[in-house]
Every structure is written in structure tokens, then in C-alpha cells.
Structure 1
Amino acid sequence: SFADFDLNYFWHWSKFTDYLQCVLTFTGVTGYITYLWLDSPVFVETLGFLAVFTEAMLGVPQLYRNYHNRSTEGMSIKMVLMWTSGDTFKTVYFILNQAPFQFSICGLLQVFVDIAILLQVYLYSYYPQKPVSHTAHPASTKAL
């Protein structure tokens, strides 16, 4: 339930209702705060930037996971190519239409993250990392 909230298990939902409860609470609280501060240009600009920046960072967990695993196994290359093409077209659109600066910057950030993931695909496919040995570590062996 909502009362037994433990930050260590934040995204490890045991029931869909717990997830739904979290999303509805977050939406209600942020909606109310936005309503109260709607007349503040600083708040609106900050909220807008955070929204665009959050979207720009969507690929970073995948980038980190690939780096940590030294592999892109199981990842869809077509999906990353579609991300890259969509982010590139969107960023070019922002630049050509002189959209506010944060759109162009965050769009470029998205394109760079996409390119970094594509580079990981190339590097980990053509230059695979040596698998980590599963031999016993001297400190973990029992004395015979």
C-alpha cells in the first residue's frame, strides 16, 4: 500500500495498483503545484526545460546498461536507428524554425546519445569484450 513506501523498492512494483497509486499521486501533486505557479514565467520555463531534458535523457539508461554489460545483446538496432532518425529530424526542425534554445540543445543531446548507442553496437559487435572469468577468487576459496 501507499503507507508502506520504501525507496529501495521504488520501481519494483509488486502490484499494478501500487504503480497506479504512485502515478496518480505524482500527477495530482505536480498538477496542483503547476496550477499554483502557472502565472510564474520562471516556473513555466523551468518546468518546460525539465520536460524536454527528461525526454532527452531517455536513452541514457540503455547507454549505461550497454556499457556496464559490455554488450548490446537483445537490443533492437532498428529501434535505435528509428530513435536516431526521429531525433535528428526533430532537432533539425527545431533549429530551422528557431525554436527556443532548450529544444535545440536537448535535441542535440538526444542525437549524441543515440549515436553513442550506435557506436556501442559497432564496438561490442566487432570488438567483443573477453568474458569475465568465473574462476574462484583467491579470497573466496575455502581452505582445504
Structure 2
Amino acid sequence: MGFIGDLAAVGMAVGPPLIYVDQVRKILKARDSSGFSIDICAVVIIANITRCFFYLGHRFETSLIVQSILLITSQLFLLSLCIHNRPTRSSQERIDNEQQSFASRMLKQRPFNFWQWDRLGSYLEFLAGFIVVMVIIHFALGWSSSVVESLGLIALGLESTLPIPQLLSNYRRRSTEGFSDLVLAGWLGGDIFKTGFYLARHSPMQFTICGAITVLLDLCVLAQRLIYRDRAPQNLPEDEQIIGAPIDHEHELALHSPYGDMDPEDDSRQRTS
């Protein structure tokens, strides 16, 4: 039983980070990360940083803290990959965006454009600031058991929402194209396994409750996969479906020109006539 328990602990530590290997492969192959919600990286990284500070005040399974460190590292790599493989926006889309009113753009944007930045450095700066805040909380209030338990609840609560960004992304696109089936299988199988692991190891109740919630959300993503199957994303301009397609600069200039696609000489001849 001891050997099986140790083997399960190793699986708990290295299994979740390995789930995303196939997603990395799909992004590299297609050079397109649009099928994978980048918010998943936010949830995983923030939740596991919080879990690390929870560990400082409430010791739990060593395999789980190792899992957190590996997940943070792997998600930072995946985040970098997603940023560098975002789909190229068409020239028309950029022009339409420029012509939108300020109020309209503000309604569509998140506060401070959170987690939608263009540079990896912006994400790292935010995470560094978040860690500083957590350090302050740890040294100022780490003696309080209620604060420590709250950190655990926050960490596990965030982790339980992991499938939600992908659920929303799939719904908006009416497609699961670009999202790895192996990631989904890993989520569902892994969450069922770890919920049982928490129960068997008498882990803090936060782990068990949030694990069960995550399993239910995984099943929702699975339902989307069955409903949408291999349906292509809807409402995407044709030139957005070709990642890295060259922009027609002449057409872009014509759109900005007061003459549109008309030759200025033709326009002057029409006026004189």
C-alpha cells in the first residue's frame, strides 16, 4: 500500500502539468492559439501561487506543493506560447475597431485590459506584484488561522473555476476547434482521481469540495465537445482563418482614402463632366 501511495503521489505531482503537452503540440503545429483560452493560464498560475502561500501556513501533501510549482512553470511557458501564436487580425478588423466609439470599446474591454496584454513582460509584472501582495499578507496576517484557511479556500476556489474560461470561449466560438481532446481527458480523469486522492489522504476539506466542483465543470466542457464536435468557429472573417496571412496594404490604404477603391483621376474626370 505504501508503494501504491507513493506512486499516486508522484502522479499527483507530475500528472497535471503533463496534461498540457498535447495543447502545446497543437498550438505549435497550427501556429494558432485561438482555440485555447489564455485565461486558463491566469487561473492556474494565480491559484497555485496562492496555494503555495496557503502551504506556508497549513502544511499538506508535499506532492501537492510540487504540483503547484510545476504547474506555475508549465503555464508560464504555455502563456508565452499563446502570446506568440495569437491569430493575426485582418486590416478591416483593425479599421473597424478604430472607428468604434470610445464608449463601445470600453464596454468590450476588461478593466486595465486585464490578462489581454500584448507583451509577456506585462503578465510577469502583474504576477510579481501579486506575489509581493501575498508576501505582505503572509508576514502581516500569517499568524491568523482564519486568514490561512481563507487563502486555501481562495486557491482551491479559483482552481475549481479552471474549465470556465474554456467553456465561455467554446460558447462564443460555437466550436471546440483548437482545444486539445487530451487536455479535456486529462482534466476529467485527473480531477476525478485527485478528488478521490483528497478523500483518501484526508486533505483539507477545501480540496475535496473544489475538486468535485471542477469535475462537474469538466463534464460541461465534455458536453460542448460532443455538441460542437469538429464544427469550425463561427463569425470569423475569412482572412482571420489563415494565420499569418499577409495584409493587403493597398486595400487597407484604399479603405482609409476618401476615394475608397476609386481611382482619384477617375473621380476628377467625373466631376468635370
In 1, Cα distance between the equivalents of 2:176 and 2:116? 23
Partner of 2:226: 122
Structure 2 residue aligned with 1:99, among 203, 206, 213?
A: 203
Give the Å deviation of 1:54.
Answer: 0.9
Please list the CA deviations of residues 78-126 of structure 1 after superposition, one character each: whole Å capped at 9, or x if unmatched: 1100111111100011123332222111001111111111111011128
In 1, Cα distance between the equivalents of 2:158 and 2:167? 15
Partner of 1:138: none
Cα 1:70–1:16 change in 2 (3 A) is closer
Provide structure 2 residue ranges, at least 5 long, that are not aligned to the other structure: 1-109, 236-273
Partner of 1:135: none
Query: How many correspondences in the alignment?
Result: 126
In 1, Cα distance between the equivalents of 2:118 and 2:189? 36
Structure 2 residue aligned with 1:54, among 158, 175, 179?
A: 158
In 2, Cα distance between the equivalents of 1:16 and 1:82? 27
In 2, Cα distance between the equivalents of 1:78 and 1:98? 29
Cα 1:122–1:10 change in 2 (3 A) is same
Cα 1:71–1:50 change in 2 (3 A) is same
Secondary structure in 1 aligned to 2:229?
A: helix
Provide structure 1 residue ranges, at least 5 long, that are not aligned to the other structure: 1-5, 133-144
Partner of 2:171: 67
Partner of 1:28: 132
- Superposition RMSD on alpha carbons, in Å? 2.4
**Residue 123 of structure 2 corresponds to residue 19 of structure 1:** yes
The structure with more radius of gyration: 2
TM-score by length of 1: 0.76
Give the Å deviation of 1:16.
Answer: 3.1
Please list the CA deviations of residues 51-87 of structure 1 after superposition, one character each: whole Å capped at 9, or x if unmatched: 1111111111001111222211111111100111111
In 1, Cα distance between the equivalents of 2:114 and 2:144? 31
In 1, Cα distance between the equivalents of 2:120 and 2:166? 24
Which portions of structure 1, spanning 4 or more consecutive aligned residues, are displaced by more than 4 angstroms?
none
